[in-house]
A and B are shown apart, each in its own frame.
Chain A
Amino acid sequence: MEELYALWKQRIEERRPFQYIVGCEHWRDLVLSVQEGVLIPRPETELIVDMANEVILKDKEMKQGVWVDLGTGSGALAIGIGRLLGNEGRVIATDLSPIAASVAAFNVQRYNLQDVVEIRTGSWFEPLDEFKGKIVGLVSNPPYIPSGDITGLQAEVVRHEPKLALDGGANGLDDLLNICKGAASFLKAGGFFIFETNGAKQSKFLVDFLNIQMEGSFQYVNSVSDFAGIQRFVTGFRK
């Protein structure tokens, strides 16, 4: 009883996220283990797997190739996509945080995907050298919140979730831009990408950036809304 009371107090007074208290989060049809130091996967992000699935169903090559999930956190996207690939393709998931990497590895084990999903510790593309120009699909939910907005986030988020997974620099675009540039050199021709963003402003900026600044690298670049009607994702294909 006392233990429960202590947990309750943590929840109410310290605003400790419910998912950290129970140690897991239901995401899509998965139950993922989470703990302090790992971002709790969000419902919006579930859609990335649906969109990846559409691409995979259309093109057999997509199912048999190498996918990457940059900044995997709990491993949610990597596992969601790994389950779509069956035994034909592979997913490499990276994360700079050793805690995230170990939680992701645990979750991968839990779904018995260790032969499909590989976790590597390191920043973005850093541990992926050998896959330059060979990747068929790239997904990421990188930190995208402008540094100035961090203190104004919901208490559960700002007090307990890792800044590393949230803070995207002055305008929130530091990591997204980094990933866009990397996508040009790591994706193979025809390769697919999808990133989560902070909303309409970032999405529009990134669509323009990919079309104009990186002219000739990508095609069919688009922003896609989440169920709340916010332009949440940017998708496209390497030319």
Chain B
Amino acid sequence: MRRFWLVCLMLVLSAPVLAGVKVLATVPEWGALAREIGGARVDVFIATHALQDPHRIEARPALIARARAARLLIATGADLEVGWLPILLRESGNPHIQPGQPGYLEAARYVVLRDVPQQVDRAMGDVHPDGDPHFHLDPRNIPPVARALAARLMQVDPDGSATYQANLDAFLLRWQAALRRWEAEGARLAGLPVLQVHRAFGYLFHWLGMQSRGELEPKPGIEPTSGHLARIVERQRAAPARLIVRAAYQSDAAARWVAERAGIPLVVLPYTVGGSPDAGDLFGLFDATLARLQGALR
């Protein structure tokens, strides 16, 4: 009998060790990164998936429960999650993941944001005062976030430092190799004029040297209107775009309407990990994105 209780006690004591470091990622790209760096030591929960607009998420009870348990939170920042993350943090009663704590990591702090507005006014639509938060689509922005994440994991779980360092080194090596390959593959996309639904692909276009011919949304976050779409089709005559791209989570109707009127292909890009069956991880995300862009040009 005593042995039974001893076994029970050991199980209880060892449970936290077996459980792994609970990481809450707001969006799939950081969830995928946490799995790369954390490996088997972490237990990652991703608050959203690729078919959800990350700006518009409800602070659902299930998410509060996950925030309560998390030891590390990795968010995009730059106001991407401003509509729901503050509620999760406040309602969770979890001191580890509050802003300013080692368990709160905002990826936007480690990269240079583009399109920082000179002036901010709600009449301009849903503008992000700190700049465009969709920076994960420039693969050169992934390594600094990976390093910051590894450092935070080491802080919250010092016993795993060697593992995190090794995983980080291996990831960065693979990433550098993949980056060279993508840049070689993407070279022929340079200069390509494109249209997009929401300003979600600014970093991707910038990285590949593609030219943005504007967005279907008249203002960020404002639904396309028929008048604005007609003007875009009109503009095709003077300055034609070769493609129109939309993220997997964005609605199809407006993009399809313009694609048909303008006679250009509509390309659905995964936008984040899980946005298409072949975008299973961060490497797959860029492989799939480049393959789709090039496929549409053939």
- Say whether A and B bind each other: no
